[in-house]
Amino acid sequence: MRHIAIIGSGPAGYYTAEAAQKQWGDDVQVDVFDKLPVPYGLIRTGVAPDHQSIKSVARRYEKTALTDNVRFVGNVAIGIDLSIAELQELYDAVVMATGAPNDRQLGLDGEGLGNVFGSADFVGWYNGHPEFAQLSPDLSGKNAVVIGMGNVALDVARILAKTEAEFAGSDIVAHALDALKNSGLAKITILGRRGPHQIMMTPKELGELGNLERASPRVDRNDLPEEADDAILEPGIRKSVAHLRSFAAIPEDMHAEKAVEVEFDFFANPTAIVGDGKVASVTVEETQIENGKAVGTGTTYSIPADVVVACIGYRTSPIPGIPFDERAGRFANDAGRILTGLYCVGWARRGPSGTIGTNRPDGYALVEKIAEDIESGALGRVGKAGREGFDALAKERDLDIVTFQDWKKIEEAEAAAARDGSPREKFVDIEAMIKAGH
Ligand SMILES: Cc1cc2nc3c(=O)[nH]c(=O)nc-3n(C[C@H](O)[C@H](O)[C@H](O)COP(=O)(O)OP(=O)(O)OC[C@H]3O[C@@H](n4cnc5c(N)ncnc54)[C@H](O)[C@@H]3O)c2cc1C
């Protein structure tokens, strides 16, 4: 029997468990650990609450989770409740699938001012992540600035722009819905250092901004390159740029009909966040593109800002005992191998890029590497104590484990508490989750 511990129950964790099961059938036992009492990582706490069809991928992970040789071990934080060295004593292979939960910093003066957030915190707040449920952003001001030109920036801008009715069918948590429906926002500026051809936004998500009830997207046509130049773009980005062109063609009277404007400010590099205790404005330097890079022109201007959300990428949390690549912000690894018997996968391996689906080949490729290492003898003789050994240690430490069956009870309680039309009202407090599970 091979014993594998996977740390993290997000897409990368569950695709790896699925691949291990395909590889070894009944000859493997996989324990999938998570520090939260609930599974699925960013499917629950990252993917936007108004994108329920994307979240339905969790049904596939549930199939894996419900098989006899895979089990969910929730409410156990590796690096806190249990060390990596202890796990390695118990399992033949330990796989870090812990994602990249920390915001990359802007590195600007004023970043620590009130009402300035990183997207991990802000998205965690509206998605009910227990660590961020208490964030309480003040949305009473008129002006929001969202920094970044990727899909996370789009998610944040869209969530800020929607009406209460537009959240029908979503699982946005009650505290966020309350704050958003009372928001005073009239302008949301999306700031990007580079231009329309350099955006990282996918067409479907960008197109959604054009169909909002009370918000209208604004693009300055002078920021757009010649249309013929779009031919050099990769097809997905070309479609996204076509959306930007259609936004640039919206006539003024149509903008005037909407209460909220979502303005794309291209070639705009934030250089300082300004305020007294709380943010009041963002200072921006105009840029131009030289060899694909944004270079400052020296011309600066100021944008009023009552709330700022920086969506500029994520870093993995370092864990004692695991080599870390500081520059890249993820575990130091060679195609998923960190040290003998210690591996990583998903965002913890490659950084915060790609879609949910990108984690599938990642998980399958890693299991091939583990199989190679077992066959070559690199892991020594397999057949460590595995889950029996862990259960003994958990008892000794009095760990309050949440099983997959417990999670199903949490899920039922969340569904029962849902407001009309919503799939669930999430628990946002760890104690409440555990209580519902037990
Ligand atoms: C805001 C946002 C929106 C997104 N929207 C989409 C989308 O619409 N479509 C799409 O295809 N992709 C989307 N993505 C990308 C997608 O979510 C990722 O590709 C995917 O979740 C990465 O999977 P992962 O398993 O590597 O990490 P995660 O999903 O982050 O899972 C990591 C898990 O590890 C657990 N963990 C961390 N540390 C520990 C520890 N020490 N001990 C125990 N457990 C631990 C965490 O609790 C978490 O459950 C989005 C990402 C973000 C940030």
- Determine if ligand 1 sits within 6 Å of the CB of residue 69: no
Residue 202 pLDDT > 90: yes
- Determine if ligand 1 sits within 6 Å of the CB of residue 356: yes
Q: Considering the domain 2-101+316-437 in this protein, what is its CATH number? A: 3.40.50.720
Q: Which fold has domain 103-314?
A: FAD/NAD(P)-binding domain (3.50.50)
Tell me how far apart the terminal alpha carbons of the chain are, to the nearest angstrom. 30
Centre of ligand 1 to C-alpha 142, Å, is 31
pLDDT tens across 254-287, in order? 999 999 999 999 999 999 999 999 999 999 999 9
The crossing angle, in degrees rounded to 10, of helices 119-126 and 174-181 is 100
CA nearest neighbour of 2 among 94, 73, 98: 94
Residue nearest to atom 27 of ligand 1 (CA): 99
For residue 202, count other CB atoms closer than 10 A to its CB.
16
Which residues in 156-265 belong to E strands, given as ranges? Answer: 187-191, 215-218, 260-265
- Determine if ligand 1 sits within 6 Å of the CB of residue 308: no
pLDDT tens across 282-312, in order? 999 999 999 888 999 999 999 999 999 999 9
Residue nearest to atom 6 of ligand 1 (CA): 47
- Determine if ligand 1 sits within 6 Å of the CB of residue 329: no
Q: What is the pLDDT of residue 407?
A: 98
User: What is the H or E stretch that residue 254 is in?
Assistant: helix 252-256
- Determine if ligand 1 sits within 6 Å of the CB of residue 273: no
Residue nearest to atom 41 of ligand 1 (CA): 78
pLDDT tens across 171-196, in order? 999 999 999 999 999 999 999 999 99
- Determine if ligand 1 sits within 6 Å of the CB of residue 366: no
Domain ranges (residues) in the chain: 2-101+316-437, 103-314
pLDDT tens across 392-431, in order? 999 999 999 999 999 999 999 999 999 999 999 999 999 9
What value, to the nearest 5°, has the Cα angle with vertex 62 and ends 61 and 66? Answer: 120
Question: DSSP label at 434?
Answer: H
152 contacts 312 by C-beta, under 8 angstroms: no
